[in-house]
A and B are shown apart, each in its own frame.
Chain A
Amino acid sequence: MSEKPIVLEARGITKRFPGVLANDHVDFDLRQGEVHALLGENGAGKSTLMNILYGLYTADSGEILVNGKPLTLNSPRDAIEHGIGMVHQHFMLIPVFTVTENIMLGAETDHRPHKSEAPLVKLDRKQVSQIVRDFSHQYGLDVDPDAIVGDLPVGVQQRVEIVKALYRKANILILDEPTAVLTPQEAEELFRIIRELTTRGVSVIFISHKLKEVLSIADRITVMRAGRVVGATTPAESDEHQLAAMMVGREVILSVEKEPAQPKEDVLVVENLRVRDVRDLEAVRGVSFTVRAGEILGIAGVQGNGQTELAEALTGLRRIESGSVKLAGRDLTNCPPRLFTETGLAHIPEDRQRHGLVLGYTIADNMVLCDYYRPPFSARGVLQTQALDEHARKLIQNFDVRTPSPYVAAGKLSGGNQQKVIVARELSRPSVRLVIANQPTRGLDVGSIEYIHKEIVLMRDQGVAVLLISAELDEIMSLSDRIAVMYHGQIVTTVEAHAVTREQLGLWMAGAKPEQTATSV
């Protein structure tokens, strides 16, 4: 592999943002046909480096060489011209357009033999759609050019992004956290595609903070921490523990340490719940379960099987069609969200930026988002700044939120620190009886995940009931005491966590029927 020529090289890249040295003399190179993984926690400087390579930022110093020639990239257009394509973590697709239209977008005339100077040219959908089909066949991408992008599953949308880059003649692909939104099966499929691409000479930069997948897909691994490259290795010479230690800068405990659960009385009782989604289709179809004090019930399932709607219904954010929700003995079916929180619900929402935080508010204000109206934060309708200040400082310290001050806007924090603000706020509320944690560690780095998991187990040990909803099978398996598998709006089965294998859960998540003799609880 090392015989292959270097196609892309960054030398001594330094990039400074106000108050942050995001990249500090970073060296990075990519050989033809290899997968070079860039591993690091959130805020380590991976995205900054990639944005520089993709022409979105200009480096303060250092140089970029493509095929050995130094050049300056002033915009993504420059990068694309030099064969660099990027698939962002958040897709840049227009949902109401077809696959073909999305792929043509911004390059509507590129395929024409003689580029027309005319301001208006007829869109040649047919030809582009044929090109999409060819790529699809060549790389085993399985993308239908005429499908509407919004109707496609996330995994397929990602492939559309890849085709888009290939259509622009990219031979260097930057994949930014590509598996963050994928199911395990979809991730496997993506890895197969990446291998297919590399055998055909495409070089791939794979950005991730997930150790397992980096070890399984990469040819080489470069680890970044706090803006610097701290090491380079290969999967053969390394393992998870070593990588995690490099990434975080200390030893990390990868599995969650917890004692067996001591479940007590029922806290959350859900009976025959039916809920509709935004499109008015039935998303939760007759779900019943119970979460007891002092246990963690994990809900496993591929995303989009009703978990979002279930969580919203259990927190008062979505109307319940029929069935009932009882929290701590109180019937809260179709009650407003505040009644839930006042009865003892702590809710870590799925989408932290949409529901969990007001990004323009300070950390201090976000720390009281649900309790601002209660003493000691409010007296006779007036906010008590002193109490807000003390509360924020206490939580910032207790939950290790990395910020220079409680008066920094939440939007300026890294994803991991934003999530810590939410977790701190929710878990520190007085008299919590139930925690609903929906994708509590999505997109977070190893250090933050470890921390949040510890906090959740701590809540359980204090006798709080925990409902954990997660698309990460590892998370479900390592935290839960019992596991319920959700498929197509229903709970397929509920099992003791220690009595089930990863493979068995995967099958149920994919819709396999559990045998009658399964160890249902």
Chain B
Amino acid sequence: MQNADEKQPQPGWQQAVRAGLNAALVPFLAIVTAVIVGGVIIALVGGNPFAAYLGLAQGAFGSARAWSETFVWATPYIFAGLAVALAFKGGLFNIGAEGQLAFGAVATAWVGYALPEVLGIEIPGILHLPLAIGAGILAGALWAAIPGALKAYAGGHEVINTIMMNYIALNITSYLLNGPMKDKNPLNVIARTPEIAEGARLPVIFDGLRVHWGFPLALLVALGVWYLLWKTTLGFEIRTVGANPDAARYAGINFRRILIVTMALSGLLAGMAGAVEVTGLNYRHELGFSIGYGFDAIAIALLGKTHPFGVVLASILFAGMRNGATRMQFLTQIPVDIISVIQSLILLFVAADAIIRYLYRIKAKEERLVLTRGWRG
């Protein structure tokens, strides 16, 4: 029996790294396995898996331009993935990132193109950009707080309610982009807003490459989410409610408040995904630009083991695959759709991790992720 007075240091960065590597083991092996199975599928349809993967890697990370594009893809993934991961930590399954993201984009776009007109003044860039992004995250936060409140006070399950809120958000967005917010340029036939003012744009990092300051911002926000969850009392409350709601009540934590705050924070991050896409990349909101980010985010949060740093890695991986797929198809004529197959396989192996544990004989049991509780949980 070891004794308590045996002096052991506080868990330092070495332990943290070891724990991180441990947590990354299953996702990493899932990726390896999915790539192997994907290779077999490519071979079965008559392709050369090695050439295909080479093309994929070149397209994703083979040049400065490739890296830039991968980071461009990764940016909204990181924000939205963080949104879903944070909700998971609080015991909530936020399927509504898609809708929160859309409202975030709409709000940001409106502040970006219409606010100067409405106020009748030129807003200086130093103010306009934060205002635009602020409007986006506020919209996302408020939109997500509604299902949070419904759960806290009316017992409505957040899975159902966030799905419904997605329909509402996407249809309202569609109405706005086809109607009141539509780009009035006579040449425009697309459901999209006018371009936002120069002052409301996030600048690119390097001339000639599309990667913009939204990417470093995303990394910073990931760090912030980690700090919030593990270093602050609010994070302690969120994780406690997520890990054991009964103990949270016993500990005097205002359970309902935390439910709403968790959803609002999650929506804030999803809204930020929309806001940064508008201010950093598209300079407007266009119907259909974001289709699927909110859902990919669930996959990314799972692959990243709902840890902020895991989310960043998973986002860059998924972004690289999306980005490299085009070059793969160009070089080897293997359709880009194979990438979706591989991505799905990765998730399948991460979710059903018993397969991976069996294949690679991994014994140690780690904490199981509880996705969602009962309907009244």
Interface residues of A (CB under 8 A from B): 18, 226, 315-317, 336-338, 340-341, 347, 349, 354-361, 365, 369-370, 372-373, 378, 381-383, 385-386, 389, 393, 396-397, 400-407, 409
Residue picked from B6, B246, B247, most chain A C-beta under 10 Å: B247
**In the complex, how many angstroms separate the beta carbon of A431 from the nearest chain B beta carbon?**
16
Interchain Cβ contacts under 8 Å between A and B, 22 examples? A18-B364, A226-B1, A336-B252, A338-B253, A338-B254, A341-B252, A349-B250, A355-B250, A356-B250, A358-B244, A359-B244, A370-B252, A373-B236, A381-B232, A381-B233, A382-B231, A383-B231, A385-B231, A386-B10, A396-B4, A404-B2, A407-B10
Flag if A369 contacts B10 (CB, 8 Å): no
Asked if B184 is at the interface of the complex by the 8 Å CB criterion, the answer is: no
Residues of A within 8 A of B232 (CB): 381-383
Chain A residue nearest to B363 (CB atoms) is A18
Flag if B252 contacts A397 (CB, 8 Å): no
Asked if B251 is at the interface of the complex by the 8 Å CB criterion, the answer is: yes
Flag if B233 contacts A360 (CB, 8 Å): no
Flag if B244 contacts A373 (CB, 8 Å): no
A354-B4 Cα distance, complex, nearest whole Å? 26
Residues of B within 8 A of A365 (CB): 236
Flag if B240 contacts A369 (CB, 8 Å): yes
A interface majority secondary structure:
loop
Residue picked from B6, B235, B250, most chain A C-beta under 10 Å: B250
Task: Report the contact-size class of chain B (Cβ under 8 Å from the partner).
Answer: 20 to 34
**In the complex, how many angstroms separate the beta carbon of A228 from the nearest chain B beta carbon?**
13
**In the complex, how many angstroms separate the beta carbon of B281 from the nearest chain A beta carbon?**
34
Asked if B204 is at the interface of the complex by the 8 Å CB criterion, the answer is: no
Chain A residue nearest to B230 (CB atoms) is A383
**Which of B5, B11, B243, B249 makes the CB contact (< 8 A) with A317?**
B249
A316-B250 Cα distance, complex, nearest whole Å? 9
Interface string of B1-34 (1 = CB under 8 A from A): 1111110101100010000000000000000000
**Which of B233, B243, B250 makes the CB contact (< 8 A) with A373?**
B233
Residues of A within 8 A of B234 (CB): 381
Flag if B4 contacts A407 (CB, 8 Å): no
Residues of B within 8 A of A373 (CB): 233, 236
Q: Given A355-B250, A356-B250, A383-B233, answer yes or no on A397-B11 (Cβ-Cβ < 8 Å).
A: no
Residues of A within 8 A of B8 (CB): 404-407
Residues of B within 8 A of A360 (CB): 243-244, 367
A314-B236 Cα distance, complex, nearest whole Å? 26
Flag if A317 contacts B6 (CB, 8 Å): no
Flag if A402 contacts B4 (CB, 8 Å): yes
- Interface positions, chain B 240-287, Cβ under 8 Å from A, are 240, 243-244, 246-247, 249-254
Flag if B1 contacts A369 (CB, 8 Å): no
Flag if B236 contacts A407 (CB, 8 Å): no
A357-B250 Cα distance, complex, nearest whole Å? 9
Residue picked from B2, B3, B244, most chain A C-beta under 10 Å: B244
**Which of A226, A372, A378, A403 makes the CB contact (< 8 A) with B4?**
A403
**In the complex, how many angstroms separate the beta carbon of A485 from the nearest chain B beta carbon?**
27
Residues of B within 8 A of A404 (CB): 2, 6, 8
Flag if A336 contacts B10 (CB, 8 Å): no
Flag if A382 contacts B247 (CB, 8 Å): no
9 further A-B contacts with Cβ under 8 Å, apart from A338-B254, A349-B250, A361-B240, are: A337-B252, A365-B236, A369-B247, A372-B233, A381-B232, A386-B10, A402-B1, A402-B4, A407-B11
Residues of A within 8 A of B240 (CB): 358, 361, 369
Interface string of B94-120 (1 = CB under 8 A from A): 000000000000000000000000000
Q: Which 5 A-B pairs have the closest CB atoms?
A: A338-B252, A404-B2, A355-B250, A396-B4, A405-B8
Q: Given A358-B240, A365-B236, A372-B233, answer yes or no on A397-B251 (Cβ-Cβ < 8 Å).
A: no
A490-B338 Cα distance, complex, nearest whole Å? 69
Residue picked from A401, A404, A405, most chain B C-beta under 10 Å: A405
**In the complex, how many angstroms separate the beta carbon of B90 from the nearest chain A beta carbon?**
13
Flag if B250 contacts A372 (CB, 8 Å): no
Residues of A within 8 A of B3 (CB): 402
A383-B234 Cα distance, complex, nearest whole Å? 9
**In the complex, how many angstroms separate the beta carbon of A298 from the nearest chain B beta carbon?**
22
